[in-house]
Amino acid sequence: MQRELLRSTYYYDLPEEQIAQTPIEPRDHSRLLCYNRTTDKIQHKHFYNLLDMLQEGDLLVVNNTRVLPARLYGYKSETGAKIEILLQKRIDLHNWEVIAKPTKRLAVGTEIVFNENIKCFVTEKGDYGACKIKFDYSDKKSFEEHLMEIGTMPLPPYIKAKLKNQERYQTVYSKIEGSSAAPTAGLHFTTDLMAKIKAKGVEIEEVLLHVGLGTFRPVKEDNILNHEMHSEYFEITEANAEKINKAKREGRRIVAVGTTSVRVLESGVGEDGYLVPQKRETKIFLYPPYKFKMVDALITNFHLPESTLIMLVSAFVGDIDKTLQLYKTAVDEKYRFFSFGDSMFIE
């Protein structure tokens, strides 16, 4: 089998103490590993130095999704057994796709109570804890109002520390609620840094992709092509397409903030090589070798071993061994990893 198709190719060793448990303050004081694919040069900076790495005329693409308080704790009305629900995707006004724990306690028709005003019923069961549920709330509050009362921020399973400020799991430019996880490469930006970037002559475009819990789903198949990729909703507006396509025609760099922005841009390309306005689901799976059509530079955090996200980064770097070398350098230099960790700028 081709090496790039083997899951084990994307493994690296990471000491557990380098998994960031809390966010750095201020946001832009996290570290930034800069890698130039043309010169093969690595530099060690801080995120606020991104201002020096960006060029006048660059177009920065960010994902303006906002994380829902998507982790809910309830109990079975029959037995009182505790149940954890993670909202994954909204189907309609009352119905959701979720991950439920423990699923062995659930059957279709099970009633789960969150408080005296809101409960849900299991309508369908799937694999890996996936379920479909229907919410029932009888008072005049909207579902969103109930969610603010009963929901908590859905931090990834590798973060054990309690988050003191819930807004630290939101980007400063988050707007449209719908994600079950943060687009974490954007967590490093401050409003002040964004203002300085604009003042330098860098355009900023906001696209939308609602991040699903599938982003944390491990690749379990030895052949990565057998991995079932998760589906995520994204939007590219006419204004997005017009401005990003203009930058591409003029030969200006398109800099994607995070793998979610990459997924939007590469999913939205039409046959002519330019973005097409659209609103739909994407299951795009990017792995080596892949020729990127829209993205010229990438800002990204450090991802889990053998994950679809490190595969995407390997495709962008253009060399799996170089990607693993960058990760080993980050480990050796004591960078912090994953959601609240440090980041890379790859150009």
Other C-beta atoms closer than 10 Å to the C-beta of 127 total 7
pLDDT, position 298: 98
Q: Which of 51, 52, 47, 53 is nearest to 25 (CA)?
A: 47
d(CA 143, CA 318): 45
d(CA 123, CA 106): 10
Looking at the chain, the domain(s) classified CATH 3.40.1780.10 span 3-67+165-346
Contact 238, 295 (CB under 8 A): no
Q: What is the CATH number of domain 3-67+165-346?
A: 3.40.1780.10
- Rounded to a whole number of angstroms, the distance between the first and last alpha carbons of the chain is 30
Q: What is the pTM of this model?
A: 0.93
pLDDT, position 141: 86
Query: Mean pLDDT for each consecutive 10-residue tract of the chain (347 residues)?
Result: 94 97 97 98 98 98 96 95 92 91 90 95 90 89 90 92 94 95 97 98 98 80 93 96 98 98 98 97 96 98 96 97 98 98 98
Looking at the chain, the domain(s) classified CATH 2.40.10.240 span 71-152
Distance of CA 263 to the CA centre of its chain: 10
Q: Which of 249, 329, 327 is nearest to 11 (CA)?
A: 327
Sequence length of the chain is 347
Q: Which residues pair with 95 in a beta bridge?
A: 134
d(CA 70, CA 179): 8
Highest CATH level, class, for 71-152: mainly beta
